A and B are shown apart, each in its own frame.
Chain A
Amino acid sequence: MTHVLVIGAGPAGLSAAVAAGDAGARVTLLDSGDGLGGQYWRHLPPQRPAQREARLHHGWAAFDRLRGSLVGVEVVTEAQVWAIETVDGIAVHVLIGPADAGGRAARTFAPDALVLATGAHDRTLPFPGWNLPGVFSAGAAQALAKGERVAVGRRAVVAGAGPFLLPVAQSLTAAGAHVVGVYEAARPAALARGWLPRPWRLLGAARKGGELAGYAAHHLGRRVPYRLGRAVIEARGDGRVEAVVTARLNADWSPIPGTERTVAADAVCVSHGFTPRLELPIAAGCRIGPDRFVAVDADQRTSVESVYAAGEITGIGGVDAALVEGRIAGARAAGAPAAAADLKRRTATTDFARRIDAAHGIRRGWTSWLRDDTVVCRCEEVAYGPLRDAAAATDQASLRSLKLTSRAGLGICQARMCGRTVEELTGADPARAEDTTDRRPLAAPIRLGDLAAPATTCGKDTHV
């Protein structure tokens, strides 16, 4: 019997696991968190049951169905994959136990096929004051509202770009925060370019369309101002956020002088898009396309034999795309054909991803809201001025040597937060593998003791 290992239990991974099981495979589903559903269906832990939790979610019924269809699937949560080998078959090395604990149980899986569905995290562009307490990624505000019933502030500003800002504002409101405003960097013309052409194609992603319309209605109803072409360009406060400065943007996202406004707020939740979590696809040797997503064919097959990928790591397409891609990947990984209807739907959802990028994609002018002392790398606290000077001084050299000179991207998060920003600010060429910040020596932080002797207990050393 074919053994399919699925990594990531968000929409794509869940649907892949169910599809692989339906196709007759033995299935193991891993997730680094201690619950299923990924970030999209992030929910309260089993210790805090609630009768009407579905209210906080879109498509909760679909999640319930998927969860209920995992019969016979071996589900391993709190499973942190830290290495994957794909020479002479597949070997997936996992530590199982509470996050960042030493002495977690080590396990190695050797499946016949692998489905990677590791998702994405927000990308937040730096701005003056973004390192103050009270500034959060929009994803943090969302995760805390849905997974903890915590509102990150009383008076919150939501800002950045993309349809994700709307559910975040809704979740904050539902957790008791007053959302002062939602600031979308894209201007109406860009939104029209992305969303208006060939509207019939959106029918293929109809549920997503309905979801967005629902948010729009919600905002009108709740009187949360939704401003287009405006961005948070500074967070101010003595030791923590007390106010934000917003400004109108040109089409290239450079702020228009004289349009600044100051708004009192104790929380700022910012997301300018998403960065795919590519550690495991890269560890598995999968080819990354010029768009910086995992390259897959129509069957969700990567460049590595028996390794498939689905969901946001193959392109930011939202939940419908993730579900369809997961079904295709799961079926193919199990050796069964994909459903014709799914292959057709996949085309429609790919179109949706292109629209998001056309409407909300980051424009180069954003860098003009940076100041010399604006922190770019949060871990090593490297500011824009020194980083730019280091880039000028190490002209023509690789990003790697620039990182060593400036220390940008060398901190504990391993450039997960600032990597793409550092590339952009220093003129790195992402077409050269050595010029990307995607490659990391280990796919996940683990303690040195666990690296040296995976099966033994060891505690007090640091992450590598």
Chain B
Amino acid sequence: MSAIVPWETDPIRPDEPKPLRITVDGTSIEGLQGQSIAGVLLAHGITEWRTTTAGRRRGVFCGIGVCFDCIATVNGESDVRLCLRRANDGDTVATQDDTREAQ
């Protein structure tokens, strides 16, 4: 399971991060300002959110915007690479299910 380094014990001595909230498929989850949306999800141990046409689950693979595995709908706009998109307070994320769309 993925996890974030708790800021209090991180040896790089970060300042106290500022929180934000985003909604993912209707559920509100907390993140930190400056995180990518993928980063918010991974910090909560969520490593998969998209379903492919063949019904397989995907999350982050390349982490730098090349593979498009991590795409989701953000504030109504589809196919946004979550590893590249910074989270903003109040963002609404809807995961994409390509099996449904293919039917």
Contacts and interface: CB of A to CB of B under 8 A. Distances in A.
Contact of A50 (B4, B13, B48, B54): B13
A96 to B, nearest CB: 14
Given A149-B5, A150-B42, A267-B2, A133 B34 contact: no
B54 A381 contact: yes
Interface residues of A, number: 63
B90 interface: no
A152 B46 CA distance: 10
A235 to B, nearest CB: 12
B61 A136 contact: yes
Nearest to B5: A149
Of A46, A47, A100, A175, the most chain B CB neighbours within 10 A belong to A100
A98 B37 CA distance: 12
Given A100-B85, A133-B48, A51 B13 contact: yes
Interface string A424-457: 0000000000000000000001000000000000
Of B32, B35, B48, B81, the most chain A CB neighbours within 10 A belong to B35
B54 to A, nearest CB: 5
Interface in A41-61: 44-53, 55-56
Nearest to B34: A47
A46 B64 CA distance: 18
B92 interface: no
Interface string B27-62: 000001111101100110001100011101111111
Nearest to B58: A133
Contacts of B25: none
A50 B77 contact: no
A176 interface: yes
Chain B binding site: helix, strand, loop or mixed by DSSP?
loop
Contacts of A44: 14, 34
A354 interface: no
B63 A98 contact: no
Contacts of A150: 2-5, 39, 42-43
A141 B63 CA distance: 8
Given A149-B5, A417-B62, A48 B54 contact: no
A49 B62 CA distance: 25
Contacts of B53: 381
A143 B84 contact: no
A144 B2 CA distance: 10
B63 A136 contact: yes
A135 B59 CA distance: 9
B57 A133 contact: yes
Interface string A238-266: 01100000000000000000000000001
B14 A98 contact: no
A98 B86 contact: yes
A240 B58 contact: no
A134 B36 contact: no
A148 B35 contact: yes
Contact of A133 (B12, B47, B63, B67): B47
Given A52-B12, A381-B54, 16 more contacts: A44-B34, A45-B86, A48-B17, A99-B85, A100-B79, A100-B84, A133-B59, A134-B47, A137-B62, A143-B63, A143-B64, A149-B14, A150-B5, A176-B3, A412-B71, A459-B77
- 7 closest A-B pairs by beta carbon, nearest first, are A140-B63, A47-B34, A99-B84, A45-B34, A133-B48, A50-B14, A148-B39
24 contacts: A48-B14, A48-B17, A48-B34, A49-B15, A50-B14, A53-B12, A55-B11, A99-B85, A100-B84, A121-B64, A135-B61, A136-B60, A141-B63, A143-B63, A147-B39, A149-B7, A150-B39, A151-B5, A175-B5, A176-B3, A240-B57, A411-B68, A459-B76, A463-B79
